[in-house]
Amino acid sequence: MKVLLTGFEPFGGSPINPSIQAARAIAEMRLEGIDLSTTLLPVDRISGPTTLVLAVETFRPAAVLCLGQTMGRAALSIERVAINLLDFSIADNAGVTVTDEPIVPNGPAAYFATLPVRQMLAAVRDAGVPAELSLSAGTFLCNQVLYSLLHHLAVNGMSIPAGFIHLPALPEQVAGRTAITPSMSLDTMIAGVSAALRSIAS
């Protein structure tokens, strides 16, 4: 099964982003039955979504799983919904902030992820990795690329299942912080995402 797996470049002052680290590590594992292609997405409101759409058009996958990272979560968060809203609490990597703007003017208010989220949830938990279903992908780039992807697939009549998993921070990203912030090792993230991919391809 051809699967596109994406991750983001570092942002917000951190020199690393576990989403692209996990994606690249999983690609090197060569999961049985999965022809995996990985793409690095810029944390940029313009080039992030366009890079993703181009990767879909180029690779023509049977499924798409996007990965992102967010502070404060203690488990792999399998997103269920993307909303038509840009409302950045920090600037993207181009230095742009956006407040209360639609991703697609006059587009649907929201799209549901089309990957088998409950099946993925069970597979990740069976692999011994903390996981949850999430009803909010936020209003930054993670939500934007998921909404943009689902909108592109819908308007072009492309029946490609697609979804998003938020990863926790790495321990080295939160070490030294005054406030206690959840974290997870990269190996644990890789195990969880690999289990999710296997469930998608099963």
The residue whose two tokens read 């998993």 is 165
DSSP string for 20-71:
HHHHHHHHHH--TT-EEEEEEEPS-TTHHHHHHHHHHHHH--SEEEEEEE-T
**How many domains would you assign to the chain?**
1
Q: Over 90: is that where the pLDDT of 178 sits?
A: no
Catalytic residue among 79, 132, 151, 152: 79
**Average pLDDT value for residue range 35-42:** 98
| pLDDT of 153 | 98
> 101: closest CA among 118, 114, 83?
83
Q: What is the pLDDT of residue 45?
A: 97
pLDDT for residue 179 is more than 90: no
Band the pLDDT of 84: cuts 50, 70, 90: very high
Q: Alpha-carbon distance 79 to 161, whole Å?
A: 13
What mean pLDDT do residues 168-173 have?
A: 96
pLDDT tens for 51-62 read 999 999 999 999
For tokens 């934007």, the residue is 144
What pLDDT sits at residue 202?
92
What pLDDT does residue 67 have?
A: 98
- Mean local confidence (pLDDT), 31-50: 97
**pLDDT (tens digit per residue) in 94-108:** 999 999 999 999 999
142 is catalytic: yes
Is 101 one of the catalytic residues? no
Query: What is the pLDDT averaged over residues 180-195?
Result: 96
Percent of the chain with pLDDT over 70: 100
Cα separation, 97 vs 67, whole angstroms: 22
Residue 23 lies in domain: 2-201
Stated as kind and residue range, the H or E segment containing 105 is none
10 Å Cβ neighbour count for 108?
Answer: 13
Catalytic residue status for 79: yes
How many contiguous H segments (helices) and E segments (strands) does the chain have? 6, 8
Distance between CA atoms of residues 74 and 183, nearest Å: 6
Residues pairing with 168 in the sheet: none
Question: CATH no. for residue 179?
Answer: 3.40.630.20
Compute the distance between CA of residue 19 and CA of residue 55 in angstroms, rounded to an integer: 17
Find the catalytic residue in 66, 142, 151, 152: 142
Q: Which helix (H) or strand (E) holds 88?
A: none
Rounded average pLDDT over 141-160: 98
Q: Are 67 and 19 in contact (CB under 8 A)?
A: yes
Q: Which residues are bridge partners to 132 per DSSP?
A: 77
Sign of CA dihedral 12, 13, 18, 20: positive
pLDDT digits (tens, 9 = 90+) for 111-149: 999 999 999 999 999 999 999 999 999 999 999 999 999
Q: What is the mean pLDDT of the chain?
A: 97
Q: Is 132:76 a contact under the CB 8 Å cutoff?
A: yes
Given 66, 151, 152, 166, the catalytic residue: 166
**Facing residues of 5 across strands?**
38, 65
Which pLDDT score, from 0 to 100, does residue 97 have? 97
> How far is residue 28's CA from residue 73's CA, in Å, rounded to a whole number?
26
Q: According to the model, what pLDDT value does residue 180 have?
A: 83
**pLDDT at 176 exceeding the cut of 90:** no
